[in-house]
Amino acid sequence: MTLAEQKRKYFGTDGIRGRVGDGVITPEFVLKLGWAVGRVFAKEHRSKILIGKDTRISGYMFESALQAGLSAAGVDIYLLGPMPTPAIAYLTRTFHAQAGIVISASHNPYHDNGIKFFSGEGTKLADDIEHEIEAMMDQPLVTVESNLLGKAYRVDDAAGRYIEFCKSTIPSKVDLSGLKMVVDCANGATYHIAPDVFKELGAEVIAIGDKPDGININQQCGSTEPELLQAAVLEHKADLGVALDGDGDRLIMVDHTGKLVDGDELLFIIAKSQQRTGTGGTEIIGTQMSNLGLEHALQRHDMTLHRANVGDRYVMQMMKKMGGVVGGESSGHIICLDKTSTGDGIVAALQVLAEIQQTGDSLNELSSAVVKYPQRLINVKIAKQMDITNNSDITAAVKAAENKLGDTGRVLLRASGTEPVIRVMVEGRDAALTNQLADELADVIRNLA
């Protein structure tokens, strides 16, 4: 069994996350976690670790707990304050820190929180490091001698550094003057950054979701609830809208008609832009949930879609394996490896805006190349574990559905990793047939559960 296959005690696919006060998302646990991380990253020389957070109220509590644990381990701490997750990845690299820590539950509501980590290269931690941290959690917390305690420093110019980085990811000749846009910051970590990035590049910006109070993060706003943005784009007669999530690593856009432009369409626009400028490749990485319309649109432009498992960690792994430059998920996690080391909503938005300005095409026109197929997703609750890959009844039902769809659709069945549910997804050109086949497959699983 490889390290990646070993069951983790605390870490999920993207750090540690849960409801504040429940399970491990407590001050006591996070204090010990800070110490364990500090011990793992402590070197012979003085080590330093960056801490950033989103705007949820519990961030203050967990920031203090992490700071105490890291100091006890003899590691210096650089406090960034509220910052987008991708900003922490970037700053960890530029500060030459041993690691970066993000206190965030991303697109979840305020009562959740989590801790996730970046390596010194601004990438997700390797499996062996996560296992080492978990092993250290089982050791007694021992404080270093007082003269070796870590010191804490406040980084006052973190936002400015990241704003300049974001602007540097598009050609200097790109001017957003004349572009009117609405920017929804989800009352999250980008509230004091995203509007300034676009304004400084010349755009007229109407900011919404930019008044966090510790509780309203992701609340009826942001990339997971874009209705507010759609209404604002129409109300202000804007050219387009940008919606980020609470920690700034997801992006959804809205065109001038109020139509949503999701991660699949954004991925196509960026891949096509890179093809036009000769800066990208032909291998584009999506996930099992990427719409078949994206795959066919890429094929028409001599590009190939490779499907990773759902999760930006797996997208990144396949990008490195295939030599891909751009990859992403339908939810709006877009990774531009030629620009940065992780998914970044602001950076992805800038690539799309640059393509709009350089081609003269609207967002509506650029996204129209992806004709999305109707997709039906049904979550079937099960009472016990079920091996859907080796069940003859399920295999036969899937094969029959695939035969009816031919090359105009696809079927995907997968077990949820977090709840007793089998997810049934059918996608096809014919909406009625798609819905019928999804219902039939769901019934097969219900009868066997």
One-letter amino acid at 124 equals: K
Q: By C-alpha distance, which of 414, 412, 446, 406 is closest to 426? A: 412
Token duo for residue 82: 């509220």
Residues 305-340: b if buried by 16+ CB within 10 A, e if exposed: bbbbebbbbbbbbbbeebebbbbbbbbbbbbbbebb
Active site residue 290: no
Backbone phi, then psi, for 121, in 5-degree steps?
A: -90, 5
Q: Are strands 16-19 and 375-381 parallel, antiparallel or unpaired?
A: unpaired
Contact 256, 283 (CB under 8 A): no
Backbone angles phi, psi at 288, to 5 degrees: -60, -20
Spatial CB neighbours of 260, under 8 Å, sequence gap ≥ 6:
226, 230, 252, 253, 254
Q: In terms of Cα–Cα distance, which of 293, 236, 220, 288 is closest to 262? A: 293
Catalytic residue, chosen from 104, 106, 331, 367, is 106
Under a CB-based contact definition with an 8 Å cutoff, are residues 256 and 363 in contact? yes
Report the C-alpha gap between 6 and 91 in whole angstroms.
31
Radius of gyration of the chain (CA): 23
φ/ψ of residue 381, rounded to 5: -75, 140
> Among candidates 188, 203, 149, which has minimal Cα distance to 350?
203
Catalytic residue numbers read: 106
